Structure 1
Amino acid sequence: MTVATPTRDELPEIVRTVCDTHAALVDDALPGLLDGLYLHGSIGFDGEFHAGSDIDFVATVTRRPTDVDIEALRHVHAELGKRWPSPAYDGFYVLESDLAGRPADVPEGPGVLHEWFDVGHHGDVKEITWRELRDHGVTLRGRPLRDIEIHSDDAALHAATRDNLDTYWRAQLEAMEHHPREASLPQAAEWGALGAPRLHHLLVTGRPTSKSGGGRWVLEAFPHRREIAEEALRVRERPDEPSTYAADPDRRRRDLIALMSEVIADGVTRGSMPSAAASDR
């Protein structure tokens, strides 16, 4: 199935408004600094955006931000958070030339995550972000992403994805096993039954996908886990619909743990990135 990257005009109004406010605040505080503004993540896949979704941005700048610039950006994001406390707006500032190199080589810089503005190595400065920008990034301002040189390393992306499954997601699975009440909640199903399969999809197909795409991948690759995948998609896309687990939340937890265990066990055995990774931009 072909997944389209939306244009700016096809984005939800709230996304355009928050991003336009961000750009205007930066322009007012630091004229000439902001060069480009781009989005990555689920929204790049047919404009997927639901209640509770966040906005993930990458801002390219015309110079390495100075201490004065950084303080101004801190105030920008404080003001943006006051005007738009939701949706969450997470991202970082880099030079356009940084995108041509390895994420690991990007120097520390300003960014915001979960409303916390800081200077350091932002959590989204990583291989999957570069790949999402290359294949499904949304251009809001500046040169179109298709005209920008963006680093691509299938082996590094594959290794990082497999490591993420084996460390972060395995730890999430262990936490669910030790905290049954929290793991029985609908939000846990959405988090685990979409997030871990999303990585598995990349390892198997060589292509990134959205959160909902991760759930639909379960329907294809793990059809015997259909109910928990449908539950996760319901929570994300249709939260007002009734749950098939309403009478027995612990069954939801057991099904979630079973799916995540299977996804992680299979994913960490996957070898090199398949040739599908060389998809057209």
Structure 2
Amino acid sequence: MGVPTRDELPDVVRDVCGSHLALLDERVPGLVDGLYLHGSLGFDGEFHGGSDIDFVAVTSRRPTQVETDALRGIHAEIDKRWPEPHHDGFYVTADDLAGSPDVVPDGPGVLHQWFDVGTHCDVKHITWRELRDHGITLRGKDLRDLTIWSDDAALHASTRENLDTFWRSQLEAMEHHPREASLPQAAEWGALGAPRLVHLLVTGRPTSKSGAGRWAREAYPHHREIVEEGLRVRERPDDPSTYAADPDRRRRDLIAFMTEVIADGVAVPGPAER
């Protein structure tokens, strides 16, 4: 199917985004020129229980304080109507997308029901690339008609840095919080999230969480069981787990797998180095 059209999106995604657009029209008319989705939804419409709806809103100007307060109220209303799935994203201008995400000024955004003005965690190179190649247009210019900045070397460097900093710190945290690291949700998060970045570094192409799991299953056959566990939790949560009798083994396998893939990803040379 490739990148889905709006009509091919899951009902809940259409409902949440439709309400978002209606509230924008009602409370801040003329502010938002375009609304777009990125993330796993852009890869064959992949959406499972626990998935988020990741959006980027393109504004006609920088929001005023009054408009920012209105946006805060809009997202509070969306969160009240739909506690799940999380509707996460940020507001930028078309000029922002035409340049590097490294220089985008602080702006409004929401993450897991927390609305704030600052540097949103998804204002980064992978978001620009996903929008360019796998984004979904809900309103405004088609993404293929927008100028979206992207640079292979910068994308590679930022992805490698993410592995070497954030993901290493999360790995260390798992060592200190064994109960949380033994949960099924940890397997989905780590066994699919870390190889998702490594897949990008190795192939040069972004993929979904499930796509990363299918790739890791072949790339790391000796870790197949923990990868299958991550895919099970994401795609088939009602299926039995091979770790049901020993969740601590799931934690040990997850840490061993993440340790290996993070080290492999950090070692992948960038385009210039190749």
Q: TM-score range by the shorter chain?
A: over 0.9
**Corresponding residue for residue 154 of structure 1:** 152
One of 180, 183, 189 as aligned partner of 1:182: 180
- Alignment counterpart, residue 118 of structure 2, candidates 117, 120, 129: 120
1:99 maps to which residue? Answer: 97
TM-score computed with the length of structure 1 as normaliser: 0.95
Q: Distance in 1 between the 2:121 and 2:253 partners?
A: 30
Q: Which residue of 2 aligns with 1:240?
A: 238
State the 1:153 CA deviation: 0.9
For the 8 Å contact 1:34–1:62, the answer to whether it is kept is yes
Kindly provide the amino acid, as one letter, of the partner of residue 139 in structure 2: R
Conserved? CA contact 1:103–1:125, under 8 Å: yes
Contact preservation (8 Å) 1:206, 1:273 = no
Counterparts of 1:213-224 in structure 2, within 5 Å, are 213-224=211-222
The number of equivalent residue pairs is 272
Residues 7-60 of structure 1, C-alpha deviations (whole Å, 9 max, x = no match): 111100100110010010010001111100000011111111111111100001
Q: Matched residue of 2:267: which SS? A: coil
For 1:197, the aligned partner's letter is: P
Query: Could you tell me how far apart the structure 2 residues matched to 1:139 and 1:18 are?
Result: 15
SS in 1 for 2:116: strand
Read off the aligned partner of 1:49 and give its amino acid letter. Answer: F
Report deviation, 1:171. Answer: 1.1
SS in 2 for 1:268: helix
Q: What residue in structure 1 maps to residue 142 of structure 2?
A: 144
Q: TM-score, normalized by length of structure 2?
A: 0.97
**1:122 CA displacement:** 1.0
Consecutive unaligned residues of structure 2, counting only runs of 5 or more, are none
* Of 233, 246, 249, the match for 2:247: 249
Equivalent residue for 1:261, pick from 245, 259, 262: 259
Contact residue 204 and residue 273 of structure 1 kept, 8 A: no
Q: Do structure 1's residue 86 and structure 2's residue 103 form an aligned pair?
A: no
**Aligned position for 1:278:** none
Percent of aligned pairs sharing the same letter: 75
Deviations 1:185-221 (A, max 9, x none): 1111111000000000000000011111121121121
